[in-house]
Amino acid sequence: MGKSSKDLSVELTGKKKEVAIVRLTRPAKRNALSDGLILALRDAFQNLPASVRAAVIDGQGEHFCAGLDLSELKERDAGEGVHHSRMWHAALEAVQYGPVPVIAALHGAVVGGGLELASAAHLRVADATTFYALPEGTRGIFVGGGGSVRIPKLIGVARMTDMMLTGRVYNAEDGERVGFAQYLVAEGQALDKALELAGRIAQNAPLTNFALTHTLPRIAEQPADHGFMTEALMAAIAQSAPEAKQRVRAFLEGKAAKVAKS
Ligand code: 1HE
């Protein structure tokens, strides 16, 4: 495992220890992301044990995460500011482009850098207490943890601009409606739902999960002509894996589940 931090814990769960719960454990400061905590997050995702097939990010206490630790926001010159932001980018890239799909289990405040962290996950499950905001706009600063790249992909440029210009806060229901979260659950249920999804995702062929987390977002950025070619290459690689052949055979022999109406 990587550098340990009192503000971050990594717990393995599941029969084969296939799901990692990466938890922010700084509830007294609403899980505000200090530099140390950002580096610990990076290290945790870069050093997940080989048994892990899916990960859940959770926050201890009443709130998922209050964003950047504002007590560390001291005078920085422009160069230091760039490096600080790039440090966040490296950490959140380790989440998004790490070895496994990541689900954020949200509750309470998901604000500023906390929303940037949630946006780096592949799926978000929110409970009824969740609220989303980008107070950077009213604090006289800008996002620096990849938010300007990732958040418009979830909710669109106009909504993000509104949040930062006006301080608009989205509640859990509206947050799901606009695309922050893929799942909305009752108060206190986000972690359980995230673990249920992680357990299911952990059963997928690892190469399919890799295609979805590493290749799909890149295809989405490519011109259509390049995207079709990348898709063809990825499809051919995925279906050539012995596991894919075995899964398709199992369906044809009536041994695998059909798609059922939900
Ligand atoms: C903090 C932080 C923080 C709380 N940095 N210490 N983020 C923000 O602008 C959000 C600021 N936080 C809040 O609006 C509220 O704290 C919450 C809505 C998240 C929670 O409210 P509440 O009433 O439960 O807690 P609290 O009483 O405000 O805070 C409890 C303690 O946590 C208190 O410290 P204490 O020593 O007085 O007990 C707070 O000072 C501390 N705390 N949030 C430092 N963020 C890569 S760029 C990203 C840029 C950003 O993320 S900017 C947005 C920052």
- pLDDT tens-digit series, residues 22-46: 999 999 999 999 999 999 999 999 9
What letter does residue 122 receive in the DSSP assignment? S
Report how far residue 238's alpha carbon sits from residue 209's, in angstroms, rounded to the nearest whole number. 10
User: What is the pLDDT at residue 4?
Assistant: 58
Q: Which atom of ligand 1 is nearest to the CA of 113?
A: 51
pLDDT of the residue at 183: 98
Question: What's the whole-model pTM score?
Answer: 0.96
**Structural domains in the chain plus CATH codes:** 8-201 (3.90.226.10), 206-252 (1.10.12.10)
Question: Given the CA of residue 68, which atom of ligand 1 is nearest to it?
Answer: 51
Burial class (CB in 10 A: 0-12, 13-18, 19+), 200: exposed
Residue 262, pLDDT score: 86
Our CA dihedral for 191, 197, 201, 202, rounded to 10 degrees, sits at: 50
Residue pair 180/126 in contact (Cβ under 8 Å)? The answer is yes
If DSSP codes are grouped into helix, strand and coil, which group holds residue 50?
A: coil
Residues marked as catalytic = 116, 136
User: Ligand 1: which of 25, 30, 63, 139 to mutate, most ligand atoms within 8 Å of CB?
Assistant: 30
User: How confident is the model at residue 83, as a pLDDT?
Assistant: 96
* Cα distance between the two ends of the chain: 39
Q: Which of 179, 71, 165, 158 is nearest to 115 (CA)?
A: 179
What residues are paired with 9 via a beta bridge?
23
How far does residue 108's CA lie from ligand 1's centre (Å)?
A: 12
Q: At what angle do helices 35-46 and 78-96 cross, to 10 degrees?
A: 30
Q: What stretches in the chain show pLDDT beneath 50?
A: 1-3
Question: Which residue, among 57, 48, 46, has the nearest Cα to 113 in the 3D structure?
Answer: 57
Q: Give the pocket of ligand 1 (CB within 6 Å).
A: 29-30, 32, 62-63, 66-71, 88, 109, 111-113, 135-136, 139, 143-145
Q: Whose CA is nearest to atom 19 of ligand 1?
A: 66
